[in-house]
Amino acid sequence: MLKLDAILNRVIPREELKQSVARLRIKSNKIVFTNGCFDLLHMGHVDYLSKAADCGTKLIVGVNSDASVRRLKKGPSRPIQNETSRALIIAALHFVDIVTVFDEDTPYELIKLIQPDVLVKGADYKIEEIAGHDIVLAKGGEVKLIELVKGYSTSAIEKKIKEIN
């Protein structure tokens, strides 16, 4: 069972990310990267992240900052949870190795920094639409699309909560 300190240690600020990734590479890990807002963690998120983790040996997750989520126009009440909470919750998943928060609209610069072996997004994207696909493919890596579990979304949960009240 993970203790809070161990979970907190998985949330890495960008300034320390390059060193953390270098340590993973020393051990010949296959590094997988994915990203998202992960506002209200639900079964769809857990399924997606566990499948992403299966694509390599270490999973790094980029979580959109609060400002980034607002710019994505997810809705006036979003994010529901702040970036610290969202990052900590993702870090608590046993198959997630590193979580970092990014403030840009896309994780392109983060992908450039991490240089993952595998880049993962949901199958609702086309490979050429995925930020950083060019970086990963140019270095001989893979871009994988994962089918999403239908019927699960933070927006649907938020709507249901509002209807109850």
pLDDT tens digit string along 128-149? 999 999 999 999 999 999 998 7
Other Cβ atoms less than 10 A from the Cβ of 149: the count is 16
The chain-wide mean pLDDT, for the chain, equals: 91
* Residue 34, pLDDT score: 98
Q: Give me the pLDDT at residue 40, please.
A: 86
Give the pLDDT mean for 4-8. Answer: 86
38: left (phi over 0), alpha (psi -120 to 50) or beta: left
- Structure token pair of residue 119: 């880049």
Across the range 38-59, mean pLDDT stands at 95
- What are the φ/ψ torsions at residue 155 (nearest 5 degrees)? -60, -40
> If pLDDT is split at 50, 70 and 90, which confidence band does 5 have?
confident
- HSE value, Cβ hemisphere, 13 Å, CA-based, for 43: 6
Q: Specify the pLDDT at position 160.
A: 67
What pLDDT shows up at residue 149? Answer: 79
What are the structural domains of the chain? 4-164 (3.40.50.620)
